[in-house]
Structure 1
Amino acid sequence: MGFRRAAALPLLLAAVVAGCGVQAEDTAREVDPPNGVSHVWATPTPPDPAPGVGAVPARLYLVRDGELVAVTRHVDAQPGVDELVDAQPGVDELVDALLAGPTDVEQREGLTSALLGNDIVVGVQLSGSRATVELTDALDETGRSDQILAFAQIVCTLAAKPGVTAVSFTRAGQPVGVPRADGSLSELPATAADYASLVVGQ
């Protein structure tokens, strides 16, 4: 009796499958889910980063009440750097971020900039531990009295990059004298120490 029940079981299952309209197949095949069924197993596509937000943290110097304030901004890594663990922003990326001015959040915190726009700097080159900033004539034509803060922002921001110890300024390839915190004018490379008295907390 038990043997007949065991033998009848495969026949019963086959009949059930046939009754459901499911045809048996010799090989497995991929089954597409019906319309309206989400592919919950699919890997979601990561959202695009917000505009102006890079992957590498960097220190930039902005202005509040006539003093320099260090802020952390995420900027793009220099071209060719794939490992973000060791990546550093390039000098061009740092200056571009600085010339873009304070973000909305930074403005709400009372931060401003003495740099008036992205037409001030032609470009930046790094040679060894010295960054050289090529200027346009725009900085001389601003008529503002806070040029010391403008140069201080550039120097302190670039000097905060590991490996950069001094910043030179040129126009048409010729050295340009820039004001230090004490008001003196010098064509020698500037350092962060020249503007330390303007930095909050130093």
Structure 2
Amino acid sequence: MPAVIRSRRLAVALLATALLSSCGVSTQSEPHAVDLPRRPLTEPQTNAAPEGPTGDVAEVLCMVRDDRLVQTVRRLAAPPTPQQQIDHLLAGPTQAERERDMTTALAGLSVEVRVGDDARAEAEITEADEGSARTDETLAYAQIVCTLTSRADVASVMLLRDGDRLEVPRADGSLSRGPFYGSDYIGLIAPA
């Protein structure tokens, strides 16, 4: 009887192996590239030719429309560094984005970004005219925080000036020295 049980177990094991190997999915020990759509799935299809270079990597930037944050996705050939992504944000909307009424609240700012091992970005902010009062500072800080936290390698952002933490408003108007999260500005994000 033990020989019969062994034979049945062997048959079941061979059948399971055959079924699993015939499903068409091979095992892999390394990750592989996946082809993604050429445009964001949340954005309506347009007939206009894309502006600027296109690629397989999505870069999320938070622009402003009607005093609300709106995400725009640009396609790049290679993943941007956090600094490159902020530089693209500081450059403002493209012509196609301006035609969709996107603007920025970041005029006159420069930002230097460092990301630590703890997934916290430090954004050192300098204004061209330090004495000017900004009426859109909440939107400006929200643009920086939400753009950086759209990255997989950034969980939170510290906003600094001359190495000291800035006390800045969140979407609800409360002041904080951070760290800041994208959720701190969720009330400013326009519905999709």
Report the equivalent of 2:14: none
Kept after mapping to 2: 8 A contact 1:75/1:93: no
Report the equivalent of 2:10: none
Deviations 1:22-78 (A, max 9, x none): xxxxxxxxxxxxxxxxxxxxxxxxxxxx9964643211110000110010013464x
Aligned length: 141
Report the equivalent of 2:93: 102
Kept after mapping to 1: 8 A contact 2:51/2:96: no
Kept after mapping to 2: 8 A contact 1:58/1:75: yes
Report the equivalent of 2:104: 113
Same amino acid, percent of matched pairs: 41
Hey, what's the Cα distance between the residues in 1 that align with 2:133 and 2:54?
Answer: 33
User: Which of 168-177 and 135-144 deviates more?
Assistant: 135-144
Helix, strand or coil at the partner of 2:179:
coil
Hey, what's the Cα distance between the residues in 1 that align with 2:51 and 2:95?
Answer: 13
In structure 2, relative to structure 1, the CA distance for the partners of 1:192 and 1:126 (3 Å cut) is: same
Helix, strand or coil at the partner of 2:104:
coil
Q: Of residues 81, 84, 88 in structure 2, which corresponds to 1:90?
A: 81
Deviations 1:81-135 (A, max 9, x none): xxxxxxx321101100000000001101111001104x422x1000121110011
Hey, what's the Cα distance between the residues in 2 that align with 1:99 and 1:51?
Answer: 18
How do 1:42-53 residues align onto structure 2 when only pairs under 5 Å count?
53=53
In structure 2, relative to structure 1, the CA distance for the partners of 1:106 and 1:137 (3 Å cut) is: closer
Hey, what's the Cα distance between the residues in 2 that align with 1:165 and 1:187?
Answer: 16
Hey, what's the Cα distance between the residues in 2 that align with 1:177 and 1:159?
Answer: 19
Report the equivalent of 2:186: 196
In structure 2, relative to structure 1, the CA distance for the partners of 1:116 and 1:182 (3 Å cut) is: same
Give TM-score scaled by structure 1 length: 0.63
Report the equivalent of 1:187: 177
Aligned-partner residue type, residue 59 of structure 1: V
Please tell me whether Structure 1 or Structure 2 has the larger radius of gyration of its CA atoms. Answer: 1
In structure 2, relative to structure 1, the CA distance for the partners of 1:105 and 1:51 (3 Å cut) is: closer
Over aligned residue pairs, what C-alpha RMSD do you find? 2.2
Aligned-partner residue type, residue 62 of structure 1: M
Give TM-score scaled by structure 2 length: 0.67
Helix, strand or coil at the partner of 2:133:
coil
Report the equivalent of 1:148: 138
Hey, what's the Cα distance between the residues in 2 that align with 1:139 and 1:177?
Answer: 18
Q: Which runs of 5 or more structure 1 residues have no equivalent in the other structure?
A: 1-49, 78-87
Hey, what's the Cα distance between the residues in 1 that align with 2:54 and 2:130?
Answer: 31
Hey, what's the Cα distance between the residues in 1 that align with 2:130 and 2:191?
Answer: 30
Report the equivalent of 2:59: 58
In structure 2, relative to structure 1, the CA distance for the partners of 1:178 and 1:100 (3 Å cut) is: same
Q: Which runs of 5 or more structure 2 residues have no equivalent in the other structure?
A: 1-49
Q: Of residues 105, 121, 125 in structure 2, which corresponds to 1:135?
A: 125
Kept after mapping to 2: 8 A contact 1:75/1:94: no
Report the equivalent of 2:148: 158
